[in-house]
Structure 1
Amino acid sequence: MANRPFEAYLDQLNVITMIVPTYYYNGQSERFFLEQGADMVELKIIDKVQIEGSVKYACYTPIVPEFGRPHIVLDERLMRTDLQIGEVIRTSEFDDLFYYDGSDLGASYTKEATHFRLWAPTATEVFVKYRPTDSEDVLYVKMFRRERGVYEALISGDVAGAYYQYHLRVNNQWKEAGDPYAKAVSLHSEWSCVLDEEKVAVTTHLLPPFSSPLDAIIYEASIRDFSMHLDSGMQHKGKYSSFLERQTRGRFGQPTGVDYLKELGITHLELLPFNDFFGVSDTQPHANYNWGYNPLYFNVPEGSYSSNPQDPYTRVIELKQMIESLHEEGIRVIMDVVYNHVYIRETSSFERIVPGYFFRQDEFGRPSNGTGVGNDFASERKMARKFILDSLQYWLTTYNVDGFRFDLMGILDIETMNEARKMVDRLKPGCILLGEGWQLNTALAKELKANIANQAHLPDIAQFNDWFRDTIKGSTFNLYDHGFVLGRESLHHEAFQVVGGSIGFGNRQGIFLEPSQSVNYVESHDNYTLWDKLEACFPGEVEFNKKRQRLATAMVLLSQGIPFLHSGQEFFRTKFGVENSYTSSDTINQLDWNRQYENKSTIEFVKGLIQIRKYHGAFRLNSAQAIRRHLIKGASDGGSLVLLLSNVAEYGEWEEILLIFHPSSSKGKVTLPSRPAPWQIIVEGEAAGVDVLREASECLELEPISVVVCVQVK
């Protein structure tokens, strides 16, 4: 309604707020009415407050305005304004009134007809704006309001591949929006697309349920970075299909690609976001780079990774083939998901369809910004939570992924994460859930946030362990801060705590209740690579820096908890000193396969450590109780960390395992625990594996910056 003399907002089911500007009769009104058919229902003024340039009235309405149709409010002068949906949308009463538990939102296709269903409880009119496959004409098909604020339309015939949007009126404004539940989109994500699932079916390779998250060795990579290097040996550079290639070789004949991953021995490949995101052109992907944390469509594969993004079906098929190809090699796939925010709130489908509902607001009604990108997804609201759970279920059942890594999980709420855990346990036992449980300044009560501080309420969800990260390498936010492996030997007490699963020993409080909650890592796609930090802290010390990185990686792989490796960490990946490379070039971000060849001895060392971890269950103790029973901190000269895994024959061939982490740039010495038989050394220098390298008794000389593992056979 143009030129409104005042504004009216439904802020509670029975409360309408009037904002009357002071230029209109000095903001003074005595009575307000709600138009109800031919009648006018008087509203009772229950509060009146002077605000800047206006007077604010809170009015009780004896009848709840009916959602789904327009309403008019009048004052005593019979001046009219339309009733807009206000803060009521963020009340629990609204959530209860309009929660829809159906599994049919979006476009449900059959050859005979397609049902379109959209949850839009505050809309007064909705159309499907529809473009048939055989025409450039745009048709408008009226949608009818059903239960719980869901609008529905039926289009007869086979409309697979047709493009559509929603055209709807909310608060008397017409808007267009894509379908949040879309499964496919047009080029550049301009239209949603009707998908015939039968046309994108691929043969699935079912792996047995995964045993335990503690048995995982997670390797994080970007689909684009993995193959982009000139000497990667892969033909489909930056594409889903690069993961289908086999027997790929680098410049020097070394295995690359998936063959390399299989040889390395990882169990899970965690891939940066591959749902549809903003920042890279579908048709000219080389013109821009982006990690993918700008989500557009949550249930649609990213177009720039497809060989033919103009065909909505191709990207779906290629992503499914990629995942199943990895499954055939015994490698499971963890999907990096970004449910904490959208690219731009104002233009997102969520905000256009149900304004004010899907995003969190602070106490002043401003968008909450714990994410730092201008919006926080309100996961605690019932239909926002439902969307997250529906989306996870779709990826799990349709794309057969094996786990989810939640970006900025601390924005989400505990109940949503625990519901996600229940759902994936039901559908795919052994599915791994892990996330960034950082403390973030979002407008959610602190006791509701899914972060490390509340880990006791998230018992089966793993979290990235910043205590481990910063103890071992130094603060991730201070480039020049030295952690344990950088020679800060005084941290060996802290190192003992984190290597032991961060559960707490002695009088020290842990940050986790169980080791399966701790993701142990020293680098990821975020922040400086460890190699770049080492080069900054110790410029020119190439060989010592390699030793430091080997020591850090050994601590990741031999600690209690879940080990996490950043792709290329095992061959000293560099981003040339760029801390935040999310929009940097391929030159900065690509995995350098020549570097892989140049550092093959270190890769063999890491392979050996992975082999050891898999070989003996003492490195994967499944409870805090078991860790405290078996793990003992030994005595050492100086700041070396000496650990004994004692009486562990029930977990494997070795009765006792001695771990020695020596960060000093000088030689060291350790007195070995006295045993009837000599200690068998399986890790020393650059050699690691389950085979015995040599034996030692009484005393062990330690090389500068080194790790040694000794065992006693039962």
Structure 2
Amino acid sequence: MKINQLSTFICMSICMTEFAYALPPAEGMQIVAEPDYIIPNQPICEMSYSPAATQFSLWAPSAIEAEIRIYTSYDSPEPEQIVPLDPDLQGSWNQTIQGDLKGKFYTFRVNIDDVWQKETPGIFARAVGVNGDRAAIIDFQETNPEGWNDDIRPAMKNPADIVLYEMHHRDFSIHASSGIQHKGKFIALTEVGTTTSDGQKTGIDHLKELGITHIHILPSFDFASVDETKLDQNAYNWGYDPKNYNVPDGSYATDPYNPVTRIKEFKEMVQALHKAGIRVVLDVVYNHTFSAADSPFERTVPGYFFRMYENGEFCNGSACGNETASNHRMMHKYMVESVCYWAKEYHIDGFRFDLMAIHDIETMNAIREALNAIDPTILTYGEGWAVGKLGYDDNKLAYKKYTFRMPGIAAFSDNLRDGLRGPFSDHHKGAFLVGLPGHEEEVKFGIAGGVLHKQVKANDFWAAEPTQHISYVSCHDDHCLRDRLVNTLGNDTSEETVLKLDKLAQTAVLTSQGVPFIFCGEELFRTKQGVGNSYKSPDAINAIPWTNKTKYHDLFQYYKELIAIRRAHPAFYLGTAEKVREHLEFLPTEGDNLVAFQLKDIQGIDPAQRIIVVLNSNKTNRKIQIPDDTYQIVVKDGKADRNGLGTHAGPNLEVEAQSAVILIKNQ
């Protein structure tokens, strides 16, 4: 369905970069203006079931006729009923069918300019059959697990106290060593007491042990790239191929044929994570669909939900063949209501927006405002870039550089990422971690959470508050940290060196004033065998080998203790730019590849009086002058312990090569 092999590669990798890969439109090509359609005032609801009757509604203002087609099963060759829909004055078509239709399936069909379009489950289907081709008529009360109405979000006293953990359902649980029964499924995250053969905790117990606060799950709505009828063929995809935005994908359900199962099991997963004290972030991909021409959007209101040129071509800022038009009023409404639906129906605690810069700032702010009305602690962040030329005014789009215009919305910091490991565009080129000079300011930018700071030299202080800065060094759509370091340093680099730099990288991330983000399995020294764009690679590439938890237990302990140290000290997440500028001071250093800072005057904020952090990526030990005092050592020489590793006294500190030191002066 993609326009060509190149765009398929770019689309599926969801490039974390600001380079423009797609070609700009031809000179003189004009963007089609939004049609002047009436937008309904009421929330989008295409199917409302009761045992007595089911109501149907479809917004299709350009249609001259519309019908609902009722099927007995997901694959019935012919409908058992075809019922015309009646138009109203707000561009919608409506009908009520008497009798109990529970268990039936349906599609809509509209007539545009005397041409009947292909069938669609609707633009806002909330339950579907296998592969999402037909919507399902269900009683949503039957999708709620026991105690669902009592499910509450885990407490979050300070929104800055967040540690994100990005996960793909299949990666996390599919390996034979996971000890998990329902491998690759939503309910893998409901199983407790799972361990490796040598007793190491896996699954949800591992997440609790690690100490993260939020899991970020890759797209879990119904996507098109995995055939749910052929799951025994080791089908794998990241899921950035939207089909039906408002229903969970069937490939992660134990029974993709049962419309109730996928919904109930998704809710069971959320409920189990909440009971474990972990919030859930959903990766949402409203910026494009798998196929524009075959999407419910285009089959319902052609030419409306996508940005288009006057010659009939789709704009392509996603490099996936199309880009949605959030600046059109109904798409704006759709996105706001869809996000709120997930927050209310599925108790989702946060949203990560793929290629967020394709969306306009007004829509992103409207989403934030609507979520604030539900729960202001619901997290929102996204990729502040697109892949190609967009069909809308750049000054109105949610680029990273405009994050300060979107209060309460965060963006990924490629500044810190690239400053630590090197650019996305060249996976053999390193930066601070491998000892290349000149990247200290990028690291300091990330440590300060992207906010204006007089000691940081930068041209793009794009975050108004540090909570708008997602601090990370690796994520799903590029080489994992281990592989990136090997690519940069060479295959003959010792494992000991790679482990050292791995720890150093995450020390920078987890002491940043931004929101720290960790890619699943980094704490277990995962490798994807050198594959970065592993969007459809087999389990042998993507699965987390849980046996690594024993082999690299020292690394796991470092991550665990570093997270615990951060969460025990609110000075690491001051939360406001004003406090960062007041309490974060970078210390003078001599030479390259050395960054040092202190968190000072933090009485009343933190249990500590002062915290010192030094990051040394040099291949030799380095000395630094620090405020003269007696400190507890919590990180040194590749070891981390929240309870202390000893003490340090005096102003002279020596930092081991390719390692970090964290010192705490207790009050």
TM-score computed with the length of structure 1 as normaliser:
0.85
2:81 matched to 1:129?
A: no
CA contact (8 A) 2:282 2:348 kept: yes
Instruction: Give 1:64's aligned residue.
Output: none
Give 1:587 shift.
Answer: 0.9
Amino acid at match of 2:51: K
CA contact (8 A) 2:634 2:644 kept: yes
Secondary structure of the 1:304 match is helix
Q: Using the alignment, how far apart are the partners of 2:302 and 2:578 within structure 1? A: 49
CA contact (8 A) 1:551 1:706 kept: yes
Amino acid at match of 1:641: V
Aligned pair partner of 1:260 in 201, 206, 225: 206
Q: Using the alignment, how far apart are the partners of 1:495 and 1:133 within structure 2? A: 57
Secondary structure of the 1:563 match is strand
How many percent of aligned residue pairs carry the same amino acid?
Answer: 35
Secondary structure of the 1:680 match is strand
Instruction: Give 1:694's aligned residue.
Output: 646
CA contact (8 A) 1:115 1:154 kept: yes
2:629 matched to 1:682?
A: no
Instruction: Give 2:95's aligned residue.
Output: 153
CA contact (8 A) 1:503 1:624 kept: yes
Give 1:132 shift.
Answer: 4.0
Q: Which has the higher contact order (CA 8 A, sep 6+)?
A: 2
CA contact (8 A) 2:67 2:109 kept: yes
Q: Using the alignment, how far apart are the partners of 2:258 and 2:273 within structure 1? A: 24
CA contact (8 A) 2:297 2:305 kept: yes
Instruction: Give 2:619's aligned residue.
Output: 665
Instruction: Give 1:241's aligned residue.
Output: 187
Q: Using the alignment, how far apart are the partners of 1:508 and 1:410 within structure 2? A: 22
**Bigger radius of gyration:** 1
Q: Which moved more, 1:243-252 or 1:125-134?
A: 125-134
Q: Using the alignment, how far apart are the partners of 1:544 and 1:526 within structure 2? A: 24
Aligned pair partner of 1:451 in 395, 399, 409: 399
Instruction: Give 2:423's aligned residue.
Output: 475
Amino acid at match of 1:515: P
Instruction: Give 2:313's aligned residue.
Output: 366
CA contact (8 A) 1:340 1:412 kept: yes
Q: Using the alignment, how far apart are the partners of 2:467 and 2:169 within structure 1? A: 27
Instruction: Give 2:14's aligned residue.
Output: none
Q: 4+ residue runs of structure 1 moved beyond 6 angstroms?
A: 133-136
Instruction: Give 2:7's aligned residue.
Output: none
CA contact (8 A) 2:404 2:462 kept: no
TM alignment of 1:205-604, pairs within 5 A:
205-208=151-154, 210-287=156-233, 288-362=235-309, 365-440=312-387, 441-506=389-454, 508-509=458-459, 510-538=461-489, 539-540=491-492, 541-604=494-557
Amino acid at match of 1:674: D
Instruction: Give 2:561's aligned residue.
Output: 608
2:138 matched to 1:195?
A: yes
Amino acid at match of 1:491: H
Give 1:304 shift.
Answer: 0.8
Q: 1:645 to 1:262 in 2, by over 3 A?
A: same
Q: Using the alignment, how far apart are the partners of 1:100 and 1:273 within structure 2? A: 29
Give 1:701 shift.
Answer: 2.2
CA contact (8 A) 2:342 2:348 kept: yes
TM alignment of 1:138-177, pairs within 5 A:
138-175=80-117, 176-177=119-120
Amino acid at match of 2:39: Y
Q: Going by fraction, where is strand more abundant, 1 or 2? A: 1
CA contact (8 A) 2:534 2:542 kept: yes
Instruction: Give 1:60's aligned residue.
Output: none
2:60 matched to 1:120?
A: yes
Instruction: Give 1:31's aligned residue.
Output: none
Give 1:497 shift.
Answer: 2.1
Instruction: Give 1:186's aligned residue.
Output: 129
CA contact (8 A) 1:306 1:315 kept: yes
Q: Which moved more, 1:253-262 or 1:636-645?
A: 636-645
Q: 1:373 to 1:576 in 2, by over 3 A?
A: same
Deviations 1:76-125 (A, max 9, x none): xxxxxxxxxxx9x9645x44x41112125310111211110000001011
Instruction: Give 1:643's aligned residue.
Output: 597
Give 1:622 shift.
Answer: 1.4
Q: Using the alignment, how far apart are the partners of 1:336 and 1:212 within structure 2? A: 22
CA contact (8 A) 1:333 1:403 kept: yes
Instruction: Give 2:23's aligned residue.
Output: none
Q: Using the alignment, how far apart are the partners of 1:365 and 1:187 within structure 2? A: 32
CA contact (8 A) 2:154 2:277 kept: no
Deviations 1:38-84 (A, max 9, x none): xxxxxxxxxxxxxxxxxxxxxxxxxxxxxxxxxxxxxxxxxxxxxxx
TM alignment of 1:56-135, pairs within 5 A:
91=33, 94-95=35-36, 97-132=37-72
Q: 1:178 to 1:439 in 2, by over 3 A?
A: closer
Q: Which moved more, 1:268-277 or 1:175-184?
A: 175-184
CA contact (8 A) 2:66 2:84 kept: yes
Give the total of aligned pairs. Answer: 623
Secondary structure of the 1:651 match is coil
Secondary structure of the 1:522 match is coil
Amino acid at match of 1:220: E
Instruction: Give 1:40's aligned residue.
Output: none
Give 1:428 shift.
Answer: 1.9
Deviations 1:216-261 (A, max 9, x none): 1000000111111011110111111111111101132211010000
Deviations 1:508-534 (A, max 9, x none): 342212101100000000111111111
Q: Using the alignment, how far apart are the partners of 1:311 and 1:238 within structure 2? A: 18
CA contact (8 A) 1:489 1:663 kept: no
Amino acid at match of 1:282: E
The alignment's C-alpha RMSD in Å is 1.7
CA contact (8 A) 1:209 1:429 kept: no
Q: Using the alignment, how far apart are the partners of 2:257 and 2:596 within structure 1? A: 58
Q: Using the alignment, how far apart are the partners of 2:341 and 2:441 within structure 1? A: 45
Q: Using the alignment, how far apart are the partners of 1:160 and 1:591 within structure 2? A: 40
Give 1:476 shift.
Answer: 1.8
Amino acid at match of 1:458: M
Deviations 1:141-198 (A, max 9, x none): 0100012110001111111121111122102111222211111111222211112111
